[in-house]
Amino acid sequence: MNVVSPKPKSSADRYKAGVMKYKEMGYFDLDYVPKDTDILAVFRITPQDGVDPGEAAAAVAGESSTATWTVVWTDRLTACEKYRAKCYRIEPVPGSENQVFAYIAYDLDLFEPGSIVNLSASIIGNVFGFKPLKALRLEDMRLPVAYVKTFDGPSTGIVVERERLDKFGRPLLGATVKPKLGLSGRNYGRVVYEALKGGLDFTKDDENINSQPFMHWRDRFLYSMEAVKRAEAMSGEVKGTYLNVSAGDMEQMYERAEFAKSLGSVIVMIDLVIGYTAIQSMSKWCRRNDMILHLHRAGHGTYTRQKTHGVSFRVIAKWMRLAGVDHIHAGTVVGKLEGDPNTTKGFYDILREDYNPMCLEHGLFFDQPWASLRKTMPVASGGIHAGQMHQLLTLLGEDCVLQFGGGTIGHPAGIAAGATANRVALEAMILARNEGRDIMAEGMEILDRAGKSCTPLAQALHLWKDITFDYTSTDAPDFVPTVSVA
């Protein structure tokens, strides 16, 4: 690609009334060296036919910062050079004809501290509907330490969550109550009790279980907490159920969260669709009230899944760690929902590490420092079962929640048996891994052996042994590692 920065214009020329190319307005500067405090973004741009990719990239930089479609003299009242986002690098997308990656730098002063809503209103506000582009995707962002430090981050974080629950050295286990709609409060609590008594750490409301005619929220909370406390008495362990407090307005959400707290719940839950401001508000409420905050990423697939247009989930994961959620659904790789292994690894690293080095094979375009911000626990949910335990542990590591809904409740001997199967499978696999065994090679053997002293596990392995979801991923990284000759 032959792209050069345009020659700078004289002030008189630059501000002459009329329409000018974005490239010539100061939004395109390949010589610009990003500052350590700049916020960086990389976009995948598909220009309309005949549109110069450089001009398209400059337009994205312009429309996501100070520009409008025509020259305005009022720019000259401001330190406009500082406020202009600058496309500082542009390169073709590997294996594609008409797409480019445009790297754009934004000055820190463009953003309000501690506000995801302000950040997103700038970066993805207007520009995604811009006519000269066929499609646009925000692939990744570099959030500088200076900006990260303006956020509180997760209210609890992985380490403190483990300390509060007194659970170390293994993934946590959960299950979503099914059927997700229609159960009465009393029936709902039965599922919670059986699953927790059987050995799970958590049960979970589904994203769309709020307060419906078949079960009002107070009934769900009361019966669920009876189940949680009863299961604690049966096991001597701390247990929890993610009580979904998502509601039509903040006042109702606070009311539901307060009620959950008054009943002794350790965790509440919200949906991504409540919006970034509501998420940050709930995170602050959780900080004040010693509560773990679970986020279901309801709705994200509408804009994260297709590679040409939208926002990558790795950006959402970064925003949500800043916004301050303790749990977030981040993919299973092996389950029923979208998830390329390398892309998913990138998401998990964003949530759990203190520093992410650039790793294009995992979709990480920048070095990302987290400056000791607390860590978010990724949640793997959707179509997973005990027979995949060795794969899940190898692919996802131990600091995550493995969420077996159907894989617990669908067990032929009942919910408690399903829960026990999962817990035994998990503990057997951790034991074997720590003993130095190659669990990917010996996984089924380890599980079968554990099943000899645990009938529910043997039954689960038999029932689900052939279940896999083997489809091509739509969101794989563009870069593959090249084999070195060394």
Give the binding site for another protein (CB under 8 A): 159, 162-163, 166-170, 199, 222, 225-226, 229-230, 232-238, 262-264, 354, 372, 375, 420, 423-424, 427-428, 430-431, 434-436, 450, 453
Q: Judge contact between 380 and 392, C-beta under 8 A.
A: yes
Least distance CB 229 / another protein (angstroms): 4
For residue 332, the minimal CB distance to another protein (Å) is: 22
Which C-beta is closer to another protein: that of 79 or that of 431? 431
Shortest spacing between CB 333 and another protein, in angstroms: 24
What are the structure tokens assigned to 411, written together? 């067990």
Least distance from C-beta 449 to another protein, angstroms? 11
Residues 473 and 343 sit within 8 Å (Cβ to Cβ) = yes
How is 250-288 classified by DSSP, letter by letter?
A: HHHHHHHHHHHHHTT-SEEEEEGGG-HHHHHHHHHHHHH
The DSSP bridge pattern shows strands 292-296 and 172-176 to be unpaired
Which residues, other chains included, contact 401 with Cβ-Cβ below 8 Å and sequence gap of 6+? 171, 172, 173, 174, 201, 202, 327, 377, 378, 379, 380, 381
The smaller minimum CB distance to another protein, of residues 159 and 358, is found at 159
User: Cβ distance 332 to 339 under 8 Å?
Assistant: yes
Nearer to another protein by C-beta: 230 or 284?
Answer: 230
In whole angstroms, how close is the CB of 292 to another protein at the nearest point? Answer: 15
DSSP output for 330-391: ---SSSSS---HHHHHHHHHHHH-SEE--BGGGTB-S-EE-TTPPPPEEEEESS--GGGHHH
First-to-last alpha carbon distance for the chain, in angstroms, is 30
149 is catalytic: no
Is 167 assigned a catalytic role?
A: no
For another protein, the closer of residues 375 and 385 by Cβ is 375
The residue from 9, 134, 167, 178 that is catalytic is: 178
Active-site choice (239, 294, 296, 375) = 296
Report the distance separating Cα 185 and Cα 294, nearest Å: 21
Question: How far is the CA of 216 from the CAs of 183, 205, 213, 242, 305, in angstroms?
Answer: 11, 13, 6, 16, 33
- Omega before 341 within 30 of 0, i.e. cis: no
Residue closer to another protein, measured from CB, 159 or 440: 159
The smaller minimum CB distance to another protein, of residues 199 and 477, is found at 199
Minimum CB–partner distance for residue 92 and another protein (Å): 38
Provide the token pair at 205: 């409301």
Q: Which residues are catalytic?
A: 178, 296
